[in-house]
Amino acid sequence: MAESTTLKYGYYPGCSLEATAKEYNESVQASAKLLDVELVELDDWNCCGASSGHCTDPELSLALPARNLAIAEKLGHDLALSCAACFLRFKQTNHDLRANDELRQRIEQIIETPYQAKIEAKHVLDIFAREVGFEKIEQRVKKPLKGLKLAAYYGCYLVRPPKVTQFDDPENPMIMDNLLTTIGAEPVDWSHKVECCGGGLLLARTDVVVKLCNDLCQAALDNGAVALVTACPLCQANIELRQTIGMPAFYFSELLALALGVSENKFKSWMKRHIQNPVPVLKAQNLI
Amino acid sequence: MTVRLITEQGTESADPAFTREVLGDGAVHLERCYQCQACSSGCPFAYIFDYAPHQLLRMVQLGLKDRVMESKTYWLCASCETCATRCPNDIEIVQVMDRLRHIAFRDGYTNQTPLPLFHRTFLGGVKSYGKVFELMLILRYMLTSRDIFKLSELPNNMKMGFNMFSRGKLAILPDKIKGTANIKRIFQQTERKNG
């Protein structure tokens, strides 16, 4: 029976999920548990190098993710990732190493361990929506998020570059919207789904990040949303820290876990970590 | 070989070897650009660039090395991939930006913007700990960039710091991975001579 099948993955949380985005990590793990997905955290994983890696050196930008992919390959499972920025670096590494075997061997030398590039890197949103599937999620929903109007925000690295991430339509992705519908919420149709939050300019050019995040929040507000929903710790940090509009933002996994019946105490401990208080929009719909 | 070009800036020298270096193995398809400006129209950062993406691409095609390398554009590009996704000629614009950044690190074009400092600070932390230690990254970057001394920004920065600390969003101590020696060797093998 499909009901009892457990999906199993290696799990790479990424650096942000240990500090700024701890609530993302906890809510992904809680959602996975509620959906019979087993996430086995990689032993001694390292930073993927992020944007600074590929801006600095092409081999470094492949070797840092490849060390983690090799650990996952030894485990014998595909790899689940929560951070959209890490996700792209891992997808890019597999993409480049599969296209060029000489390069793959060179990277194996650098990381001092074999890596065949046979396993897949998958974002947890993709795993929940496509591998667990909407049907199973719908059956498991205990608390439909009725009346909650949300703007699903994908940002850059889930969908771009499309030939590398192979995730969804790069201009109008729907996978997170459909997940939100499945758990009873109301995703709004809006213009800024895949606009950039300012990403790595967070510290170096905060003026730009303030402008881009305010544009995002205003667009969501104009289209009737009461909050944004993200699947990336960097988008979430930029939106929560830099906007001046006061728009709350959720990680998609927090809402998923809430709908699946996670304990209210646990859910509230995540809400306390948000900088833009999301509790009022939930209270307005009697959801907590 | 140097070529003299007449541009709106007067006579400029062009360096075909620079164009060839950026073209590399040809996979970026820079030669296909016909200046439709789809890249610049959708670029969220074009308003802070000194040259819009389509202008920079043309300058690379022409071999205007000094003007390209001294520009801020490729450092301020956040690699959001909007341009490359929309390019009708499938030009790998972000990979072009990456190649310019690699050349810039090698040849020392690193003073136009604070971004090279950010990247060095970020990777320096990864080299030491194997992971990003956010508190150290923020403090070290703000000290070396001297942003911490910008008094007009002080209230905002303090508010942000307080917000993050009070919600447990910043770890106080670094978490070092076991394989830091392995990570160090990865860095040593990939570090460029002048990087």
Report which of B133, B114, B22 is spatially closest to residue A207, judged by C-alpha positions. B114
Of A170, A165, A189, nearest in space to A178 by CA: A189
Q: Select from A236, A233, A268, A276 the least CA-distant residue to A30.
A: A268
Residues of B in contact with A205 (CB under 8 A): 48, 76, 114
Residue A6: the pLDDT is 84
Please report where in the chains the tokens 């046979």 appear, as a residue. A118
Domains of chain A, first to last: 2-123 (1.20.1050.140), 139-283 (3.40.50.11810)
The DSSP 8-state label assigned to residue B178 in this structure reads T
Residue whose pair of structure tokens reads 């610049």 in the numeric block: B40
Residues facing residue B7 across a β-bridge: B10
Which tens digits make up the pLDDT trace of A42-64? 999 999 999 999 999 999 999 99
- Is B102 in the A-facing interface, judged by CB distances under 8 Å? yes
A185 alpha-carbon distance from chain centroid: 19
Structure tokens at B132: 């990003």
Which of B78, B138, B189 is opposite residue A201, by nearest beta carbon?
B78
- Surface of A (131-190) touching B: CB under 8 A: 156-157, 160-162, 170-171
SS3 B167: coil
Q: Quick one: pLDDT at residue B193? A: 45
CB nearest to B170's CB, from A19, A162, A206: A19
Residue B145, pLDDT score: 87
Q: Residue B192: its pLDDT value, please?
A: 57
Domains of chain B, each with CATH number or no CATH: 3-107 (1.10.1060.10), 115-190 (no CATH)
Query: Which residue bears the tokens 């911490």?
Result: B148
From chain A residues 54-113, the ones with a CB under 8 A of any chain B CB are 54-60, 63-64, 67, 109-112
Question: Using one digit for the tens of pLDDT, what is the confidence trace for B49-79?
Answer: 999 999 999 999 999 999 999 999 999 999 9
pLDDT in tens, B12-47: 889 999 999 999 999 999 999 999 999 999 999 999
CA-nearest residue to B105 within chain A is A56
Question: Which secondary-structure segment (H or E) carries A230?
Answer: strand A227-230
Residues of B within 8 A of A57 (CB-CB) are 102, 190-192, 195
Nearest-Cα distance to chain A for B107, in Å, is 13
- DSSP label at residue A129: I
Q: Enumerate the residues of chain B whose CB falls inside 8 A of the CB of residue A160.
A: 80-82, 84-85
Q: In chain B, which residues have their Cβ closer than 8 Å to the Cβ of A45?
A: 177
Give phi and psi for A249, each to the nearest 5: -140, 140
**Residue A253: which of A25, A83, A84, A36 has the closest Cα?**
A25
Interface probe with A: pick from B25, B28, B79, most Cβ of A within 10 Å? B79
Q: How far, in Å, are B16, B32, B95 from residue B91 at the CA level?
A: 19, 7, 9
pLDDT tens digits, chain A, 288 residues: what are they? Answer: 445 568 999 999 999 999 899 999 999 999 999 999 999 999 999 999 999 999 999 999 999 999 999 999 999 999 999 999 999 999 999 999 999 999 999 999 999 999 999 999 999 999 999 999 999 999 999 999 999 999 999 999 999 999 999 999 999 999 999 999 999 999 999 999 999 999 989 889 999 999 999 999 999 999 999 999 999 999 999 999 999 999 999 999 999 999 999 999 999 999 999 999 999 999 999 999
C-beta neighbour count of A155 within 10 angstroms: 26
pLDDT at B100 over 50: yes
- Which pTM does this prediction carry? 0.95
What is the number of other CB atoms lying within 10 angstroms of the CB of residue A133? 14
Token output for B173: 């101590």
| Tokens matching residue A107 | 């990277």
Residue-wise pLDDT for B147-195, tens only, equals: 888 888 888 888 888 888 888 888 888 889 999 999 999 999 998 544 4
Identify the residue among A24, A55, A202, A273 best suited for mutation to test binding to B, counting B beta carbons within 10 A and taking the highest. A55
